[in-house]
């Protein structure tokens, strides 16, 4: 049984579908190979980076970011990715310095992203330069990159903590110097969705340059802030597999892709069924484990436990799943134990070779509760098994009616 119900989406409460709330198309930039490698416990080999890039490309992201300035190995990886003939654009991420831009040129990159802080705290304590120097450096770097024919995004690092007037000034300066895109990162994940919305709207009203969203998850608001920025007119969103990144990371690819499809009904040309596999690939290559509670790709995303839930999902999983597990390459399972209802108890008896009746099934649920062992075991649900559960349930119901 699969849940084939169209989602009577919650967004009906938010807006009318005919309203064009997002830009007509939104692009995804995946930065697992740049921001993701900044996560503790994550370091890829050249071969792994290439493989991840291939798979992300096949999944359908539009841009893949890597930082060639980190090490020779990263530079080699960047070169190899550029030669691999992927459909996604490869973006070389670097500082706003001519010597870094030279590395990208050496790699034969056509897209670069260069970053420069804009908040006073970064200017004063990280770079130890004045606002004026920051503008001069940024403009010089953009001009240098453009004079070499590069397409470029300019990242205004720590944009959300910068003085709004200075942020605006920087955005105008880099736009006038020729930046093709700008990124307004919430570097510390401190924004509220409404704040992010307003910030993007204001900058969008000042410059024509398309805007990227790069939202960190320090307060768990990365997805909400990314969507708020897109609703305000941003056309590209940065993600990473499982949300890997510096500290608590940024918005996960799976969540963004699914939210765009399910909430905004956007026709993204991506292979959703690869999401779980992408997450597993990263787990295999790193010492980080995907949290079980991770939306869509986590081990618990499709585990059902309460008896009332299970009784409903075997008839129609949409009762407790907003999207079927196979859409994202995950699997449904049920937990049998203390919270089991009559259906599972009967099914358990059936599995053990007994012929369950309603009364015994009820006794068994009581027994399971009194055991006080919590979860007894987990059962991965194949379609065949679901059918069987329904049969068992129908049988005991028939007996009850007799």
Q: Which residues bind Cu ion (CB under 5 A)?
A: 35
Whose tokens are 């944009």? That residue is 159
Strand, helix or coil at 140? helix
Nearer Cβ to ligand HCA, position 216 or 342?
216
Nearer Cβ to Cu ion, position 96 or 392?
96
| Number of residues counted as binding ligand HCA (CB under 6 A) | 14
Stretch that binds ligand HCA, among 142-150, 212-220, 319-327, 363-371 (CB under 6 A): 212-220
Whose tokens are 């995946």? That residue is 30
Q: Is 183 in the site for ligand HCA (CB under 6 A)?
A: yes
Among Cu ion, ligand HCA, none, what does residue 183 contact (CB within 5–8 Å per kind)?
Answer: ligand HCA
> Which helix (H) or strand (E) segment is 111 a member of?
strand 111-117
Minimum CB separation of residue 69 from ligand HCA in Å reads 12
Q: Is 111 in the site for ligand HCA (CB under 6 A)?
A: no
Minimum CB separation of residue 115 from ligand HCA in Å reads 5
Minimum CB separation of residue 82 from ligand HCA in Å reads 19
Residues in contact with 278: Cβ distance below 8 Å, sequence separation at least 6, in sequence order:
55, 56, 59, 241, 253, 254, 297
Question: What are the beta bridge partners of residue 193?
Answer: none
Q: Is 115 in the site for ligand HCA (CB under 6 A)?
A: yes
Whose tokens are 């930046």? That residue is 179
Q: Is 37 in the site for ligand HCA (CB under 6 A)?
A: no
Question: What are the beta bridge partners of residue 335?
Answer: 378
Minimum CB separation of residue 158 from Cu ion in Å reads 10
Q: Which of residues 120-179 bind ligand HCA (CB under 6 A)?
A: 155, 157
Strand, helix or coil at 292? coil
Q: Is 329 in the site for ligand HCA (CB under 6 A)?
A: no
Q: Which of residues 229-248 bind ligand HCA (CB under 6 A)?
A: 238, 246
Closest Cα partner for 337 from 311, 305, 315? 305
Nearer Cβ to ligand HCA, position 38 or 331?
38
Nearer Cβ to Cu ion, position 35 or 231?
35
Q: How far apart are CA 98 and CA 100, in angstroms?
A: 5
Minimum CB separation of residue 144 from Cu ion in Å reads 23
CB-neighbour burial class of residue 183 (10 A; exposed 0-12, middle 13-18, buried 19+): buried
Strand, helix or coil at 9? coil
Q: Is 76 in the site for ligand HCA (CB under 6 A)?
A: no
Closest Cα partner for 135 from 165, 97, 173? 173
Q: Which of residues 7-36 bind ligand HCA (CB under 6 A)?
A: 35
CB 217 within 8 A of CB 249: yes
Q: Is 185 in the site for ligand HCA (CB under 6 A)?
A: yes
CB 190 within 8 A of CB 222: no
Among Cu ion, ligand HCA, none, what does residue 157 contact (CB within 5–8 Å per kind)?
Answer: ligand HCA
- Buried b / exposed e over 136-145, threshold 16 CB at 10 Å, is ebbbebbebb
Residues engaged in binding ligand HCA (CB under 6 A): 35, 38, 113, 115, 155, 157, 183, 185, 187, 212, 214, 216, 238, 246
């Amino acid at each position: 049984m699969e849940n084939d119900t169209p989602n009577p989406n919650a967004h009906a409460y938010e807006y009318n579908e005919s309203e064009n709330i997002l830009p007509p198309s939104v692009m995804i930039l995946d930065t697992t190979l740049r921001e993701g490698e900044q996560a503790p416990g994550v370091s890829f080999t050249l071969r792994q980076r290439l493989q991840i890039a291939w798979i992300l490309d096949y999944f359908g992201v539009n841009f893949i970011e890597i930082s060639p300035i980190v090490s020779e190995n990263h530079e080699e990886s960047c070169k190899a990715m550029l030669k691999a003939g992927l459909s996604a654009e490869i973006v070389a991420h670097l500082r706003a310095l001519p010597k870094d831009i030279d590395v990208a040129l050496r790699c034969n990159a056509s897209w670069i992203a260069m970053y420069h802080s804009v908040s006073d705290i970064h200017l004063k304590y990280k770079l130890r330069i004045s606002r004026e120097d920051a503008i001069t450096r940024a403009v010089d770097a953009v001009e240098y990159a453009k004079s070499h024919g590069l397409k470029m995004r300019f990242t205004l690092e720590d944009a959300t903590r910068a003085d709004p007037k200075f942020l605006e000034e920087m955005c105008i300066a880099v736009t006038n110097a020729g930046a093709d895109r700008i990124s307004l990162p919430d570097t510390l994940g401190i924004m509220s969705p409404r704040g992010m919305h307003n910030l993007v709207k204001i900058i969008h009203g000042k410059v024509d340059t398309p805007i990227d969203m790069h939202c960190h998850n320090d307060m768990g608001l990365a997805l909400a802030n990314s969507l708020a920025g897109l609703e305000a007119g941003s056309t590209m969103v940065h993600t990473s597999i499982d949300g890997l990144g510096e500290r608590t990371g940024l918005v996960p690819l799976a969540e963004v892709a699914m939210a765009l499809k399910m909430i905004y009904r956007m026709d993204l040309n991506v292979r959703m069924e690869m999401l779980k596999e992408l997450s597993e690939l990263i787990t295999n290559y790193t010492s980080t484990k995907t949290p079980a509670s991770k939306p869509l790709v986590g081990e618990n995303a499709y585990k059902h436990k309460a008896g009332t839930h299970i009784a409903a999902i075997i008839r129609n999983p949409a009762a407790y799943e907003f999207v079927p597990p196979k859409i994202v390459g995950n699997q449904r399972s049920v937990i049998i134990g203390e919270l089991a209802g009559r259906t599972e108890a009967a099914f358990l008896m059936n599995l053990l070779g007994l012929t369950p009746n309603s009364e015994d099934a009820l006794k068994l649920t009581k027994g399971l509760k009194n055991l006080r062992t919590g979860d007894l075991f987990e059962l991965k649900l194949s379609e065949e098994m679901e059918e069987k559960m329904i049969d068992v349930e129908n049988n005991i119901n028939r007996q009850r009616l007799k």
